Each structure stands twice: as C-alpha cells, then as structure tokens.
C-alpha cells in the first residue's frame, strides 16, 4: 500500500492532497506562498488537527522566506503578521496554534542572520512533520495494548477522519485501526458518514479502501442501532483540542456517539497526540467552537436540500465530557482523562 502524505515538501514548495476532491479525484495542489496556505486551511483542502499544524508550520516558513529584510527585529515583526493570518484560519484545533508557536520559538531563539533563521524555520517545519508521523505510529502501537483483552477480531466504529489525511501520515484513531489490521486483530470498520462535510463517507472510507480494510459506511443516525445490535466492539475517534481535565473537542457528532456508547457499554476511546492537549484550559467549556457556513447544511454538491427562509446552526465541533471517555490513547501511554495532567510541562 502506498503511504498517504497530505502535506509534502518538494522542490521548494508544498504540495497538498486536495481533500475537497476525494474520493472521486486524487490531485495535488501547489502552495508557493503563505497566503495560499491560509486559503487551503480555510477551505479545508488540508484539514484534520495535526495536518493543519504541519501545514501551518510550512506556511510560516513560506511566509518567512517572502520577508525581504536583513534586520532581525523587522523580520520577527513581519513573521508575527504571518503567524496571525495563519492563526485566523480555523479556531478549534489547538495543533495549529501549537505549531505556529513552535515556529515562532525557533525564530526568536535562532541566533545569526535572517537567512539562517529562515533555514532553521524550514528544519523546524520538517521536524514537526516527521515527529507527527512517529507520534501517530506510537499511538497506533499503544492502541493495540488497550484492545488486547477484547474478542479475537474487533469491529471499530470511528467518526469523521482521523487518518493519514488528517495527520502527517498514518493517523490517530485510524492509526490504531491500521495497527489492529496489521496485527490481524481487526474484523472491520464502521465509518460514520459525518454530516455535514462527510469526512467519514469520503475520506475514512477512501483510506480504508486504499489499505484493503473492510469498511461499512453508515449514516450518523445509525450508530445507536448498530451498537444495540452488538455490531460494535469499541469506538475510537480523534481530537481537535483536549482540555486539561480530558474534555475533548472533536468533529460534531462525537459527543452524541459518546453518550450512546455509554448507554450500550461500548468502550469509547480518544486517540490523540499530546500536542492536542491544551493545558491552558481547565475544562472543555472554553474550547472555541468553529461555526461554518450554512451551505454545508442546506446543500449537497449543487443540490439544495432545504427551503428558503429557514435558520441554520452549523457548529463544526462538539465537546465530549471526560466522564464519557474510557481512555485517551497518546504516543506516551494510554491514560484515563484525569491523568493527562501528569504530562503538563
Ligand atoms: O473539520 P475537520 O475535518 O478538520 O475535523 C477533523 C476532526 O474532527 C478530526 O477528528 C480531528 O481533527 C482529529 S484528526 C487526527
């Protein structure tokens, strides 16, 4: 199977898999400047918390190399403007803010000429990408441990896309699923279609097909029925931001899934890198929730679904309270939500 890398650094520019075209078309988009990266993140050509972080890191480098000065202070001031434009793209996934602050830290701590700072920024972006890939593989391995006592082969339900496309490669929730598949412990995957943007039906299903993993797509409102029928052994989802107490923001619909998992005694796992934990926020109450354009609800493709004259509410994420989460699978170890604090630096 060919690995899937949503963000590629090649020949001095970034190539992104255009995730708005999948699964019907696989195409790479060239990103040569930071303004194009801002647009790509906003329009979800690249999406998924860790992938947004990697893309933003390269966006910072692209912005840095456009800055035409030899003065260190002027350079740092202009780099902050680039950072702010990138921060304004999407509010919920903390990896975006984390990656930007890593890049700013590199710039402010680099001694030497502006050219040397730019060089160091590229190295940091590449390291963020490499580290994320390794992190996801570790999450995948740790996920195997937790499912070791379960029946022979498992059927996992997942929501949205927390796969290779949403990370530097491999995936978080789908990374655990990949590891189970490689270990011959996976019977198959149920992929919630994930209204309104259908990341499950389009992206998770596509990734599973690439890998030969048996995948059954269901509409979001079928999950409870599937659990009641005993079709699901565990739920594994990704995360966009986890508060210090373990409350977890993820794609809209995740909270409902956690509620019905509890009702049916199906274990509910969050798989996420520690860079997704925002230790500044005590609880999930203060996690900013992105609201997207109502057209995501009232039309599918070019077909309008709803009559004129109705109101819309389109939050892109919801927050699952820590008490509904069986455990969080991180790259370090599997922890109860309450034990996350041990990782605070
Ligand atoms: O709006 P999206 O597609 O960026 O939302 C993605 C998700 O909610 C993922 O589950 C999350 O980012 C984890 S990705 C490893």
Q: Is the same domain home to 25 and 120?
A: yes
Answer yes or no: is 47 a known binding residue. yes
Considering 134, 164, 197, which residue would you say is the last residue of a domain?
134
Q: Is 240 a catalytic residue?
A: yes
Domain C-terminal end among 134, 164, 183: 134
Query: Does residue 199 fall inside a structural domain?
Result: yes
The answer to whether residues 19 and 127 belong to one domain is yes
Give the pLDDT band (50/70/90) at residue 150.
Answer: confident
Phi, psi (deg, nearest 5) at residue 110 = -75, 130
Query: Torsions phi, psi of 317, nearest 5?
Result: -140, 160
Q: Which two tokens stand for residue 342?
A: 């041990």
2 lies in some domain: no
The answer on pLDDT for 60 being more than 90 is: yes
Q: Report the C-alpha gap between 50 and 255 in whole angstroms.
A: 20
Active-site pick, 132, 240, 278, 318? 240
Does the annotation list 95 as a binding residue?
A: no
Q: Are residues 178 and 295 in the same domain?
A: yes
Count of domains forming the chain? 2
> What is the domain range of residue 187?
150-343
Across all residues in the chain, what is the average pLDDT? 97
In a domain, 143, yes or no: no
Whether residue 250 is annotated as binding a ligand: the answer is yes
Please tell me whether residues 317 and 179 are part of one structural domain: yes
* Residue 321 belongs to domain with CATH number: 3.40.50.10470
Give dist(CA 42, CA 37) in Å, integer. 9
Considering the domain architecture, whether residues 116 and 193 belong to the same structural domain is answered as no
| Distance in Å, CA 277 to ligand 1 centroid | 14
Pairing of strands 327-329, 234-237: unpaired
User: Given pLDDT bands bounded at 50, 70 and 90, which one contains residue 118?
Assistant: very high
Predicted confidence band of residue 142 (pLDDT cuts 50, 70, 90): very high
Whether residue 330 sits in one domain with residue 206: yes
Q: Give, in order, the Cα–Cα distances in Å from 4 to each of 17, 136, 145, 164, 321.
A: 9, 13, 25, 6, 32
Give the model's pLDDT for residue 342: 94
State the complex-level ipTM.
0.98
Q: How far is the CA of 74 from the centre of ligand 1 (A)?
A: 35
Same domain, residue pair 235 and 296: yes
Q: Is 251 annotated as a binding residue?
A: yes
- Output helix, strand, coil percentages for the chain, rounded to the nearest 5: 45, 20, 35
Which residues sit with their C-beta closer than 6 Å to ligand 1?
Answer: 47-50, 93, 160, 162, 166-167, 172, 199, 238-240, 250-251, 316
Closest ligand 1 atom to residue 203 Cα is 3
Whole-angstrom Cα distance, residue 331 to residue 271?
9
Answer yes or no: are the C-beta atoms of 142 and 173 closer than 8 Å: no
**CA 228/CA 178 separation, integer angstroms:** 25
Do 154 and 184 belong to one domain? yes
Same domain assignment for residues 84 and 164: no
Q: Ligand 1 centroid to 47 CA: how many Å?
A: 7
Pick the range with the lowest mean pLDDT from 143-152, 274-283, 314-323: 143-152
CATH number for 68: 1.20.120.420
333 and 249 fall within a common domain = yes
Shared-domain flag, residues 334 and 265: yes
Nearest CA to ligand 1 atom 5: 48
């Amino acid at each position: 199977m060919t690995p899937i890398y949503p963000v590629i650094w090649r020949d001095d520019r970034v190539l992104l898999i255009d995730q708005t075209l999948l699964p019907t078309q696989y195409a790479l988009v060239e990103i040569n400047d930071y303004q194009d990266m801002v647009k790509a993140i906003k329009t979800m050509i690249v999406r998924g918390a860790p992938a947004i972080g990697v893309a933003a890191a390269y966006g910072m480098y692209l912005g840095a190399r456009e800055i035409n000065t030899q003065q260190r202070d002027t350079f740092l001031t202009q780099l902050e403007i680039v950072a702010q434009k990138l921060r304004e793209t999407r509010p919920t996934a903390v990896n975006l803010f984390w990656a930007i602050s890593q890049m700013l830290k590199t710039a402010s701590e680099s001694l030497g000429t502006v050219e040397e700072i730019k060089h160091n920024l590229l190295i940091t972006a590449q390291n963020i990408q490499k580290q994320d890939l390794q992190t996801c593989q570790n999450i995948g391995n740790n996920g195997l441990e937790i499912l070791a006592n379960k029946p022979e082969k498992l059927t996992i339900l997942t929501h949205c896309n927390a796969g290779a496309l949403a990370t530097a490669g491999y995936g978080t929730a789908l990374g655990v699923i990949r590891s189970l598949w490689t270990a011959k412990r996976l019977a198959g995957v149920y992929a919630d279609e994930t209204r309104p943007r259908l990341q499950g039906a389009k992206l998770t299903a596509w990734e599973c097909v690439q890998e030969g993993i048996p995948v059954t797509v269901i509409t979001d409102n079928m999950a409870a029925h599937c659990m009641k029928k005993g079709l699901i052994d565990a739920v594994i989802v990704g995360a966009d931001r986890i508060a210090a107490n373990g409350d977890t923001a993820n794609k809209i619909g995740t909270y409902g899934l956690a509620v019905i998992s509890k009702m049916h005694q199906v274990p509910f796992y969050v798989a996420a890198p520690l860079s997704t934990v925002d230790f500044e926020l005590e609880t999930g109450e203060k996690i900013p929730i992105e609201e997207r354009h109502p057209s995501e609800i009232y039309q599918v493709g070019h077909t309008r679904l709803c009559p004129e004259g109705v109101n819309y509410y389109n939050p892109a994420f919801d927050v699952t309270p820590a008490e509904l989460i069986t455990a969080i699978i991180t790259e370090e170890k599997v922890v109860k939500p309450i034990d996350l604090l041990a990782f605070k630096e």
